[in-house]
Amino acid sequence: MGGRVFGKCQTTKFSTSGSEARGGRGGKKTGRPKTLSEYGAQLIEKQKARFSYGLKEHQFANYVKNIRGHQVKDPTGALYQLLESRLDNAVYRLGLANTRAFARQLISHGHITVNGRRLNIPSYQVKVGDKVAVRSQSRAAGAFKNLAERLKDYHLPAWLLFDPEKIEGIVKALPLPGEAEADINFGAILEFYSRV
């Protein structure tokens, strides 16, 4: 069987509910499970990444195109860094939002600043040294109440620092492949786009 593309399919509840075991229409077994082709496996990896990062097809394809145009040494690492360095992902990784979709909403509504400047572009690429913070006028909003307590047991990625008193994060390094999204094969994604 293929990998689980949607977030709700990656939970323990889904695995134990038997939903995964029921194949075909209406939960009826359709015979022997099909073996996945190489193309099919690559497509699933691409879809997993797209849905994890919440990107549309043309947005995702543009990231791959950008990497190909620059002839980088490590294209898989470069794709990972581009996706992880998005502002919506940085806000999510800092723990300011519990999903990337909510992080995008916070940014679009003007609650987030980068280096003191209010930004409403979720795809903005953060750089090393950037300060990502909650706008001072937004700190009393319900989304940020009890933030310090919510982040008490939160595991922050190595490439970020967070100051709960200032409600501010600093990008201290570039994200390295393997730190997160370990279930996505970025090499297979690049192979998928090389076929198209």
pLDDT tens digit string along 4-29?
566 666 565 655 655 555 555 555 66
- List of long-range contacts for 109-117, beta carbons under 8 Å, 24+ apart: 110/135, 110/138, 111/135, 111/138, 111/141, 111/143, 111/144, 112/87, 114/87
Torsion angle in degrees (nearest 10) through CA of 181, 185, 189, 194: 150
Return d(Cα 93, Cα 84) in angstroms, integer: 9
Boundaries of domain holding 109: 86-171
Enclosing H/E stretch for 169: strand 168-171
Is 134 a member of any domain? yes
Is 14 a member of any domain? no
Highest average pLDDT, of 68-77, 104-113, 145-154, comes from 104-113
Residue 39 above 70 pLDDT?
yes
Residue 77 above 80 pLDDT?
yes
Domains: count for the chain: 1
pLDDT of residue 130: 96
Is 157 a member of any domain? yes
Is 74 a member of any domain? no
Is 10 a member of any domain? no
Is 123 a member of any domain? yes
Return d(Cα 148, Cα 44) in angstroms, integer: 37
Neighbours of 97 (CB within 10 A): 21
Report the CATH number at residue 157. 3.10.290.10
- Which tens digits make up the pLDDT trace of 95-121? 998 899 999 999 999 999 999 999 999
Return d(Cα 163, Cα 170) in angstroms, integer: 8
Is 47 a member of any domain? no
Q: Which one is predicted more confidently, 174 or 142? A: 174
Is 116 a member of any domain? yes
Q: How many helices (H) and strands (E) does the chain have?
A: 8, 5
